[in-house]
């Protein structure tokens, strides 16, 4: 009986010794020390480590450009050596296409810059955005939304506050379709000539009606007709909003033919472009072909927020 008791006590003590948190932590520490040493002693690991720097891409800081004003940063790249080793270990040889990359953030971000309008995304980012200003043109919105849905494309709709007040269901429909909502003033005035206080009220009133209608808090502001002065941009910044302009103008309000819009946009579009549109017959009729042709240029289409994001699009890590 005494012998059985001693054996039982010994077993319990042994189990506690092996399974207590301190022992587990120590064992994990030993594994963490030993495994990397074994990996690093492998010639394949050393080859990956030696070659890794030549694949590095330096991050690009956000900056104020002389022409394009505020421009977002863009993540860099570096080789994740342990993950790349794991990816290549089965074949036991270095394979460039099996390299695993991790993104490196820039030191200066868009939020760090002084108030300045934004005309485009980063020139290395293979993405474009549709900025669709809405103060009229209800009869063409359904067709445009259907085309965007067909292609699984999200756009940024900048809504006039007075329009939202008159068309709350349409505004909700745009938001519920997954599109980004921005502020396009309340009454579409010429903000370049408007007082600071009235400008502030135009933006605030629009934010309030958009949030009450769609539950969206706007962070992007598009001045009507692209008319602004430095003070306008500062007022928007004080309200935690950045001012969005455009890179390519469809000039669709002049009622050009769909072919004219296609030629106008496709002749100028490139990495980081913001395409200005309105709900017009010409735009509605050209949108399907426009999206198809843009994507054939290996450009993805995203919202303004996605375009301004520093995340790198990994189409080709070496570029």
Segment 236-262 shows an average pLDDT of 97
Segment 282-289 shows an average pLDDT of 98
**123-163 pLDDT tens trace:** 999 999 999 999 999 999 999 999 999 999 999 999 999 99
Distance CA 203, CA 221 (A): 8
- What is the token pair recorded at 172? 């909700």
Label residue 25 by pLDDT band (50, 70, 90).
low
User: What pLDDT score does 40 carry?
Assistant: 64
Distance CA 227, CA 243 (A): 11
Among 225, 226, 296, 285, smallest CA distance to 260 is for 285
- The mean predicted confidence, pLDDT, of the chain is 90
User: What pLDDT score does 138 carry?
Assistant: 97
The CATH class of the 115-308 domain is alpha beta
Q: Where are the domains of the chain?
A: 43-114, 115-308
User: What pLDDT score does 41 carry?
Assistant: 75
User: What pLDDT score does 175 carry?
Assistant: 98
Segment 36-56 shows an average pLDDT of 85
Distance CA 202, CA 67 (A): 28
Residue 317 has pLDDT above 90, yes or no: no
C-alpha angle 185/188/193, rounded to 5°?
95
Residue 111 has pLDDT above 80, yes or no: yes
pTM of the predicted model as reported, rounded to 2 decimal places: 0.84
Residue 12 has pLDDT above 50, yes or no: no
């Amino acid at each position: 009986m005494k012998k059985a008791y001693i054996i039982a006590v010994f077993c319990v003590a042994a189990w506690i010794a092996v399974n207590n948190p301190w022992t587990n932590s120590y064992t994990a520490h030993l594994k963490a020390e030993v495994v990397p040493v074994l990996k690093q002693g492998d010639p394949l690991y050393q080859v990956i480590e030696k070659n890794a720097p030549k694949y590095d891409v330096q991050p690009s800081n956000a900056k104020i450009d002389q022409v394009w004003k505020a421009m977002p940063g863009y993540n860099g790249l570096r080789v994740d050596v342990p993950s790349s080793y794991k990816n290549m270990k089965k074949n036991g040889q270095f394979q460039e296409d099996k390299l695993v990359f991790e993104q490196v953030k820039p030191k200066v971000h868009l939020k760090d810059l002084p108030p300045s309008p934004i005309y485009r995304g980063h020139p290395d980012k293979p993405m474009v955005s549709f900025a669709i200003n809405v103060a009229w043109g209800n009869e063409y919105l359904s067709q445009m939304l259907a085309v965007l849905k067909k292609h699984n494309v999200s756009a940024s709709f900048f809504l006039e506050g007075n329009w939202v007040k008159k068309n709350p269901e349409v505004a909700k429909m745009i938001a519920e379709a997954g599109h980004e909502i921005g502020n396009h003033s309340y009454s579409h005035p010429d903000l370049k000539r408007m007082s600071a206080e009235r400008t502030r009220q135009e933006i605030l009133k629009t934010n309030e009606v958009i949030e009450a209608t769609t539950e969206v808090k706007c962070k992007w502001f598009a001045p009507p007709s692209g008319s602004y002065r430095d003070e306008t941009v500062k007022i928007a910044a004080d309200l935690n909003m950045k001012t969005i302009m455009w890179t390519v103008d469809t000039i669709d309000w002049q009622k050009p033919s769909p072919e004219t819009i296609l030629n106008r946009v496709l002749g100028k579009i490139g990495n980081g472009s913001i395409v200005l549109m309105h709900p017009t017959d010409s735009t509605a009729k050209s949108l399907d072909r426009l999206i198809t042709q843009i994507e054939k240029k290996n450009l993805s289409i995203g919202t303004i927020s996605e375009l301004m994001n520093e995340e790198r699009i990994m189409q080709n890590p070496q570029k």
